Every structure is written in C-alpha cells, then in structure tokens.
Amino acid sequence: MKPILKVGVIGVGILGEHYARFFHEHPATQVVAVADVRAEAAQRVAGLVGAQAYADYRDMFRQHALDVVAVATPDAFHREPTLAALAAGAPVVIQEKPLATTWEDALAIYEAVEKHKARLFVNFANRAAGLDIATRYVIQAGLLGPVIYGEARLDDNIIVPTGLWGERSRAWAADSSTAHFLLSHVVDLLRWHFSPAEVKEVYAISQAQVLGFTPDLYDAYLTFDAGLKVRVKAEWIKHIDELVEFYLCFSGRDGTLVYNKRAGFGAEPGWRANVAATITPAQLLAHQDALLARGVKVSALLHRPEPTTGQLSAGSSVLQPSLEFRGPSSGGLMALVGRFVDAILEDTLTPRSWQGNGPLPTHADGLRQTQVVTAIIRAAETDRPVRVD
Ligand SMILES: NC(=O)c1ccc[n+]([C@@H]2O[C@H](COP(=O)([O-])OP(=O)(O)OC[C@H]3O[C@@H](n4cnc5c(N)ncnc54)[C@H](O)[C@@H]3O)[C@@H](O)[C@H]2O)c1
C-alpha cells in the first residue's frame, strides 16, 4: 500500500476550505491539521475533514510532522507561514498565488526553499484548464507562426473588492490589488504559454478614483525578449452580471487565437485557433489527437471564412484550418493541485499526468511572476517603462 501524505492547511478561508476538502477526498492524502488566526474558521473546517484545528500554525508544526503544507492566507501574508513551514522541516509547500506582493517577500521565500532543499509549488490554477493547455500547445507548436501581439483582460465584478470576504473585504483588497490578485494569473499564463521567452520591459497605467482603498485597475504592456508585446488589464470597478470576465487573444504572423475564458454580456464561452493556412487537414487532425492525448477535446475544422466588405459578402476562396471548442473550459481551482500530488508521489516536476505541458510551476516561477507584477505597479507609479532583468 502506498503511504498517505500528511497535509496541514494554513489559512482556511475561501481557498483554504477548497484545499482541505480536496486533500480530504484525495486517496493519497490526509488532512491532519488546519490553522487559521480566526479560530472559529479553523474549528469549522477541521470539523469538515476530521482534522485538528489550530489558531497558531506554530502549534500545528509542534504537534505534527507534515509531508505537505498548503498555504492559502491572503495575498500579502504568504511569507511568514511559508517560511515557518520550511523551517519546521516540511519537504513540500503548496502555496496560493501570487508568490508574494513584494519582491523582498518573494526573494525570501525563494531563498528559503533553496536553503532547505524543499519543493514549493504555486497554484497558478489556470494552467490546468483544458483550453489553457490547448492555448499553450498551439503557441508552442508554432501553429500561429511567431506571435506578434496579444491581449488579456481579466476583470472582477466590483463586489469582489467590496464584498467577497465579507466585512474583511476592503482591508483584504487594500493589502492586495488587481495587479497581485488578477495579473499574477495572467503573467504566469503568458510566461507558460511563451516559454522560454521572458518579460523584459513593462509599461503601465493605473486609476484610483472609485475604490479609494486599493487601485481601481492596472493596464499594462509587457514586452517579451522574443519581441512579443502583450497588453494585460485587470479591473476591480466593473458593474457587471458575472463575478469574473476573462478574455485572451493572440495574433501570430500566420494565425489568430481567440479565447473567451469567462465570457461577459453578449459573449459565449469558447476557444478558437485559426491556424496557419499551410497546415494540411492531416496535420490538423494530428494536432487534434495530440490535444486529446493531453485530455483536451477540441474540434478540427476546415471552413470558409466570410468577411464582408462594403456591398460584397463573399466567402474567401482560401479554406481556413482551425481548432475549436464551444463552451467553458474544464479544470477548476484544485485541478493543478492534483498534478502537484502526482509530482510529489513520482518525485518529479513533470508527472505522467502532466506530460507535454512543461514543468509544474515552482518558487522560481513565482519569483519571476512577482518581479513582473511589481514592475507593473512601479511603471504605473512612475509613468515610465520599467526594465525586468
Ligand atoms: N477568492 C478567490 O476566488 C481566489 C481564487 C484563487 C486564488 N485565491 C488566492 O488564495 C489565497 C487566499 O484567498 P481567500 O480568498 O481564500 O482568502 P480568505 O481571506 O478567504 O482566506 C484566508 C484565510 O487566511 C487566514 N489567515 C490570515 N493570516 C493568517 C495567518 N498568519 N495564519 C493563519 N491564517 C491566517 C484568514 O483568517 C482567512 O481565513 C490568496 O492568495 C488568493 O489570491 C483566491
């Protein structure tokens, strides 16, 4: 029989409860303890999963030798529990994004992981969504040609900074921002899609006219070393029907990918890659199969686009090869955590369940993500481009 990994969860709010339930249900893990400064939250979640509750994670470390510690404290408070877990000898930490909200905190976490020869995974959950895996595949396989420009908009309903965490919401959002809470996701996705390219320069604007306790939005241009430029934008002042809207689009020399990940009013969720016209039907089907092997079902299409110009409404004579999926993506907040468990059990960064998708995100990815996000904030504050070296 395989050993069961003993897990402790620090911070059992919205995400921490997901962690506790996930590890409770996973056959290879057992939640033995949870810790939260809000003792009643710790007691409640501990009761759900049959774990011991602690108000102070240091007491938890004194009582339990843990194989895995999950840290799901608010954005600005990841450093202390993660460093404490590493100092207590935890071989693996799974941390919520962002790695940190300051470069100093991110570097301290990175250096502690290295010093203790431990492993830290960052739950950049979007990486496990089927259509994000498909996006990376299309880009990495060169199906759009070299990508020239991209756009990513990830916006929350204004209810998030004003109400998602109840009475704690404004203080929570004040310690974070749309840059840390939302653009950390986008920056990580872009680094993963365009690996090994890295962000070299950042320019950004911000507004602070509505909320008062945290910036209303960040709107940034990222220049990658490969020449690619991507506009990334995240708002916290939208009066919209949905909780989240998320849209990505990439224009390559030979094709375009459009991804309505969390569709807003008037849009349908879906994903379409109009790939290079030189790709044959047989090659298109091979790409469809390759994605299926990664667990992502998209349709290979050969269609006739119908652009309308003035009075003319005619299909092009050129057939457009495409890969398409209509509907929401698979994957959820804990899907990548499942891959982390596989990685721990197989002692690798590329477990069998994650083949073809690059290494799983670690402290090194978190450090780089924090560097780019803090550069976005600095660029907006100084109204100057900021180099990221
Ligand atoms: N809410 C979301 O939709 C969402 C989605 C994805 C990721 N995340 C990330 O997950 C993390 C947690 O977010 P959340 O929404 O669950 O926040 P939350 O406030 O609901 O939960 C955080 C918990 O940590 C506890 N806490 C704070 N300091 C602590 C400490 N020193 N020791 C122990 N417990 C402490 C708080 O009491 C709270 O219960 C954040 O980094 C966030 O960006 C949140």
- 351 Cβ closer than 6 Å to some ligand 1 atom: no
Task: Please state, in angstroms and rounded to a whole number, the distance separating the CA atoms of residues 258 and 236.
Answer: 23
Task: Please state, in angstroms and rounded to a whole number, the distance separating the CA atoms of residues 314 and 301.
Answer: 19
The pLDDT of residue 313 is above 70: no
**Model pLDDT, residue 319:** 83
Kindly report the average pLDDT of the chain as a whole number: 96
Q: Which atom of ligand 1 is nearest to the CA of 41?
A: 39
Instruction: Give, for 54, the enclosing helix (H) or strand (E).
Output: strand 52-54
| Overall size of the chain counted in residues | 389
- 72 Cβ closer than 6 Å to some ligand 1 atom: yes
The pLDDT of residue 309 is above 70: no
* Contact (Cβ atoms closer than 8 angstroms) between residue 118 and residue 363: no
Identify the band that residue 306 occupies on the pLDDT scale cut at 50, 70 and 90.
confident
Q: Identify the residue whose C-alpha is closest to ligand 1 atom 44.
A: 15
The pLDDT of residue 330 is above 90: no
The closest alpha carbon to 158, from 245, 74, 263, belongs to 245
Q: Identify the residue whose C-alpha is closest to ligand 1 atom 25.
A: 11
Q: Identify the residue whose C-alpha is closest to ligand 1 atom 9.
A: 96
Sheet holding 52-54, edge to edge: 52-54, 29-35, 5-10, 68-71, 92-96, 119-123
CA 316 / ligand 1 centre spacing (Å): 52
Q: Which of the following CATH numbers is that of domain 5-123: 3.40.50.300, 3.40.1190.20, 3.40.640.10, 3.40.50.720?
A: 3.40.50.720
**Model pLDDT, residue 312:** 53
Using a 10 angstrom Cβ sphere, with 0-12 exposed, 13-18 middle and 19 or more buried, the burial of residue 359 is: middle
Share of the chain residues as helix, strand and coil, in percent rounded to the nearest 5: 40, 25, 35
Match 């202390």 to its residue by tokens. Answer: 80
The average pLDDT across 300-327 equals: 78
**Model pLDDT, residue 256:** 98
What's the CA dihedral at 115, 118, 66, 72 to 10 degrees?
Answer: 90
Which of 73, 127, 165 for mutating ligand 1's site (highest number of atoms within 8 Å of CB)? 73
End-to-end CA distance of the chain: give it in Å, rounded: 47
Identify the band that residue 304 occupies on the pLDDT scale cut at 50, 70 and 90.
confident
Which of 12, 34, 36 for mutating ligand 1's site (highest number of atoms within 8 Å of CB)? 36
The average pLDDT across 68-92 equals: 98
**Model pLDDT, residue 207:** 98
The pLDDT of residue 110 is above 80: yes
Intervals of CATH 3.30.360.10 along the chain: 127-331+372-382
* Contact (Cβ atoms closer than 8 angstroms) between residue 96 and residue 121: no
Specify the pTM: 0.96
Using a 10 angstrom Cβ sphere, with 0-12 exposed, 13-18 middle and 19 or more buried, the burial of residue 266 is: exposed
**Model pLDDT, residue 311:** 58
8-state DSSP, 199: E
**Model pLDDT, residue 389:** 87
- Choose the most confident range, by mean pLDDT, from 1-5, 304-308, 374-378: 374-378
Q: Which atom of ligand 1 is nearest to the CA of 333?
A: 6
The average pLDDT across 81-86 equals: 98
Identify the band that residue 21 occupies on the pLDDT scale cut at 50, 70 and 90.
very high
**Model pLDDT, residue 314:** 54
CA 213 / ligand 1 centre spacing (Å): 18
CA 109 / ligand 1 centre spacing (Å): 18
Quick: pLDDT tens for 120-156. 999 999 999 999 999 999 999 999 999 999 999 999 9
- 10 Cβ closer than 6 Å to some ligand 1 atom: yes
The average pLDDT across 158-183 equals: 98
8-state DSSP, 265: T
- 77 Cβ closer than 6 Å to some ligand 1 atom: yes
Per CATH, the homologous superfamily of domain 127-331+372-382 is Dihydrodipicolinate Reductase; domain 2 (3.30.360.10)
Intervals of CATH 3.40.50.720 along the chain: 5-123
